[in-house]
Amino acid sequence: MKRQNWVIIGTLVAGWIIFLGQPNVVSTTLRALMANLATPFVKLGDLIPVVHSRRELHQENIKLRADNAALRQQLNTLAEAGRENFRLHELLTLKQHVAPRTLGAHVIGRDTANWWRSIQLDRGSQDGLRDNLAVLSADGLVGKIITVTKAEARVVLLTDPNCKVSAYLQDTRATGIVAGSPTALAAEPQCDMTYVQRNVKIRRGEAVITSGLGGVFPKGILIGTVASAQLNPQTGMYQDIAIKPAVDFHRLEEVLVILE
């Protein structure tokens, strides 16, 4: 192979390590530029010719789905608030629960690689989105925003190992950390909950809820249900729980972004 090709390879690797491999101005700007170039082509998938009346039905369907999603999330949150009220009977006053401000968005694309799990939304910074906003659907927690450009945003899914959520088991109130399972099949995504105390009795099917710790994910959002539990084989000090996510990530079409 020619020497100049080796020089090119070395330059590319060095350039990646210095400029692109780390979050900095160069990589952020370049990522935004490439995403803005690619997004119109991704959105081309939405151009399906429909008859006028079908278009109206389709738009009404989208609106109703968004309303339904917001209402179901309120139900989940109110159920959690009711449990807290029962547990904390000494409280003299109740803090009034105010529904957070949310923004609906369509899923327009998925991760182009098979090693990471993310989705692309059709909303961006011009709509008020920014990094580290929680994203949910009618069924539960979806993930959080990791990058935002003017007109689109990328959401890392709960089933990605890079998305870590502080959570607790709804019945026993035992806490732990939920993250995507790297070994799960894409067809059957799964999360793992770790650092759960070994003496906690875990019931299959028990709901797993966000704890609100960390400041990213609000408290009380359904993550999934317990599929199985076992003692951590390496340390023996904690239990590892396999969680079946509440959200069907293959069928995600609309999501809600929590703006505050």
Query: How many Å apart are CA 207 and CA 68, to the nearest integer?
Result: 21
Residues 59-88 that bind another protein (CB under 8 A): none
Q: Which of 125, 162, 175, 232 contacts another protein by CB under 8 A? A: 162
C-alpha 220: how far from its chain's center? 15
Cβ-based nearer residue to another protein, 51 or 113? 113
Cα separation, 257 vs 255, in Å, equals: 7
Q: Contacting another protein (CB under 8 A), which of 56, 67, 188, 248?
A: 188
220-259 footprint of another protein as x/- string (CB under 8 A): ------------------------------x---------
Of residues 70, 72, 111, 195, which one binds another protein by CB under 8 A?
111
Would you say how long the chain is, in residues? Answer: 260
Residue 125 makes contact with another protein by CB under 8 A: no
Which listed residue (30, 71, 78, 94) binds another protein by CB under 8 A?
30
Could you tell me the CA-to-CA distances from 59 to 29, 48, 63, 174 in Å, in that order?
34, 13, 6, 43
Chain residues in the site for another protein (CB under 8 A): 1-2, 4-6, 8-9, 12-13, 16, 19-21, 27, 30-35, 37-38, 41-42, 44-45, 109-118, 120, 146, 154, 156, 160-162, 182-189, 250
